[in-house]
Structure 1
Amino acid sequence: MKKFLSIIMTTILSASLLVGCSSKDDGIQKIGLIVSTLNNPFFVDLKAGIEKRSKELGYEVVVLDSQNDPAKEVSNMEDLTVKDVDVVLLNPVDSDSAIASVMIANNSDLPVITVDRVANGGEVVSHIASDNVAGGDMAAKFLIEKLNSEGNIVELEGTAGSSATRDRGQGFDEGIKESGFNLVAKQSADFDRTKGLTVMENIIQSKGDIDAVFAQNDEMALGAQKALEAANMKDVLIVGFDATDDAVEAVKQGKMAATVAQQPLLIGETAVNAVHKVLSGEKIADYIPVELKLITK
């Protein structure tokens, strides 16, 4: 009986090892994707673009959501180091806190490519994003043309510390510098629709006379639009950034004046193309830009 049980246990162990080997050595390479948040249509589209192109090229994608928490992002990167991924696509919550995440990957000899937002330290193979400075400038030029370079302007900023916030703000602020605009308020709403609504309500109460709003993403723009509509300020020009489905529909209906199209699906596809080159032993550029365009009615 002991001999019989020993044979059974040996057989089960051998089978388990074979299953483990076959799943590990099945030839499918894995891409680890850390997303800042999936509670935002832009990043949902970014993920969809990555998954679509990965499927076409035969890669498996392991997706982890940081839920806009830098500590969670670090934990996600630690998880990926033991999940047999071959490369990491990192969409940071915050450009400074992302340094820790990148260094964890560096210490595990795991290549990192940042997407949409940069990491301010650590060794990164490449950064793939739209030119956010150019996008901010595009929004500024649009409002200058529409308002003849005059009026009271509000700017809603994204998450403090993110490269997207810094770059979009830089492009817009430099774009309006030589205009006759009066920047009456510049406040953060963390790229969030509900916060965009609340912050805009407070600005309306304190400032009153507003001609235009530039929101550094569409979620904040849509929140601001609701606040302005409730205050019966329907003539205020609102420009967003990202060209999410809700924002494009708002532009079509005349509720928003414009949105800068960042094309997250294309960013995702471009990121996977870069991964493919890296895993094939090719060198890629330090920065790979993705085309922007302005969506108007």
Structure 2
Amino acid sequence: MKLKKIVTLVSSAILAFSLVGCSIEGEESSAGSDGAVVGNGSIGFSVSTLNNPFFVTLSQGAKDKAKEEGRDLIVVDAGDDAAKQTSDIEDLISKNISILIVNPVDSDAVAPAVKDAIAKGIKVISLDRAVNGVDVDCSIASDNVEGAKMATEYLVSLVGKDAKVVELEGTSGSSATIDRGTGFHKVADEKLNVVSSQTANFNRSEGMTVMENMLQSNSDIKGVFAHNDEMALGAVEAIGNKDIVVVGFDSTDDALAAIKKGKMVATVAQKPDLMGATAVETAIKIINGEAVEKSIPVEVELVTK
């Protein structure tokens, strides 16, 4: 009887352990696997930097929309630091968010953290810049290639074919840098003489320093294409009264003022406030179980005096 009782107890223990194991395995594999939204309904927004007027407006558009809809939005500033952005996203994951909106510092470097979010069942929206190698739920961005092409065509019309020009590039690895560079070179490599292309990390002071160095090497530069307005404005400071035309990208208030004064000739207009609002609106749709487009393009246009 004792032996029979021991066998019965062991069998029961094995059965109980098996059931617990199945339960745990089911919980791990079911997180978001059926398309349902996990988390507490909040939205996390990792923005590349708030030390740039464009992204301040982008963030404010998101905040305003979240407030209007009565939604909890947590905004974290990566400060243009890819490592900090990874840490920020891991922190947002720990807060049990349902949706991650990410505006990458570096489109490659951010990928592992985004994959971690997806593995937890969190839905992901990329904003303004792509997340390379990751299938996110929705991408919202301006047509950076087309915008850069328009800007470069306008530059050609002002400086003439084969004129010497330079390119101020954005942060290396950023999809905006890649796309704007692609659009620029599609036109410039055939119609202009690009004597230098250097990064200034989307930063005004770096734009000024890089432009100063370019002018020392090439005193007969006729035009500048900058991947954003901050770098373009930095170039304007370095150029001073020299007869060099500058084209930027983003249509910030400072750039528009510079165009009115004749210090810049053009910029490419995006709508960062609308982009931020659209991201939150899309996040809410996903939380509500509504279908959304995989890609939502935002039109751009050339702004001149």
Short-chain TM bin:
0.7 to 0.9
2:95 is the counterpart of 1:87: no
Report the counterpart of residue 186 of structure 1 in structure 2. Answer: 197
**Which residue, 74, 99, 122 being the options, matches 2:134?**
122
User: How far 1:140 sits from its partner (Å)?
Assistant: 1.0
Aligned residues: 266
Which of the numbers 221, 227, 247 marks the counterpart of 1:216? 227
Amino acid corresponding to residue 89 of structure 1 in structure 2: I
Shift of 1:130: 0.1
Distance 1:282 1:149 in 2: 50
Give the letter for the 1:97 counterpart. Answer: A
- Name the CA distance, whole Å, in 2 between partners of 1:67 and 1:277: 29
1:33 is displaced (CA, Å) by: 0.5
Aligned partner of 1:14 in structure 2 is none
Aligned positions of 1:42-53 closer than 5 A? 42-53=54-65
Q: Gaps (5+ residues) in structure 2?
A: 1-39
5 Å-filtered alignment, 1:137-156, equals: 137-156=149-168
C-alpha distance in 2, partners of 1:201/1:296?
25
* TM-superposed deviation, 1:147: 2.5
Alpha-carbon distance in structure 2 between the residues aligned to 1:291 and 1:53: 20
CA distance in 2, matches of 1:280, 1:146: 50
Structure 1 residue 70 displacement after superposition: 1.3
Look up the match of 2:297: 289
Aligned counterpart in structure 2 of residue 102 of structure 1, from 101, 106, 114: 114
1:60, 1:132 → 2: CA distance? Answer: 30
Distance 2:115 2:155 in 1: 41
CA contact (8 A) 1:102 1:121 kept: no
Mapped contact 2:188–2:194 kept (Cα < 8 A):
no
User: Partners of 2:134 and 2:114 in 1: how far apart?
Assistant: 5
Q: Which has the larger radius of gyration?
A: 2
**Secondary structure at the counterpart of residue 149 of structure 1:** coil
| Other-structure match for 1:272 | 280
Is 1:158 aligned to residue 170 of structure 2? yes
Question: SS of the residue aligned with 1:50?
Answer: helix
User: How far does residue 295 in structure 1 lie from its aligned partner after superposition?
Assistant: 1.2
The residue type equivalent to 2:205 in the other structure is T
Q: Is contact 2:165-2:224 (8 Å) kept?
A: yes
Aligned equivalents of 1:74 and 1:262: distance in 2? 27
Instruction: Give the letter for the 2:235 counterpart.
Output: A
Query: Contact (CA 8 Å) 1:31, 1:88: kept in 2 or not?
Result: yes
Structure 1 runs (4+) deviating above 3 angstroms are none
Work out the CA distance in 1 between the residues paired with 2:154 and 2:275. 24
> In the alignment, what sits opposite 2:270?
262
- Percent of counterpart pairs with the same letter? 50
| Aligned equivalents of 1:197, 1:87: Cα separation in 2 | 38
* Alignment-mate amino acid for residue 255 of structure 2: A
The normalised TM-score by structure 2 is: 0.85
Conserved? CA contact 2:48–2:80, under 8 Å: yes
How far apart, in 1, do the equivalents of 2:187 and 2:294 lie? 26
RMSD of aligned residue pairs (Cα, Å): 1.2
State the one-letter code of the partner of 1:203. M
Secondary structure (helix, strand or coil) at the match of 2:248 reads: strand
Larger deviation, residues 240-249 vs 264-273:
264-273
Alignment partner of 2:134: what SS?
Answer: coil
Q: Hey, what does 2:182 align to over in structure 1? A: 170
The 1-side partners of 2:71 and 2:153 are apart by: 41
* Aligned equivalents of 2:229, 2:86: Cα separation in 1: 27
211, 225, 236: which is aligned to 1:225?
A: 236
Contact 1:155 1:187 in 2 (8 A): yes
Per-residue CA distance 1:256-292 (angstroms, 9 max, x = gap): 0001011111111111221122112122222110111
Structure 1 stretches lacking a partner, 5+ long: 1-27
Query: 8 Å contact 1:35–1:92 — kept in the other structure?
Result: yes
Equivalent residues of 2:44, 2:101 under 8 A apart = yes
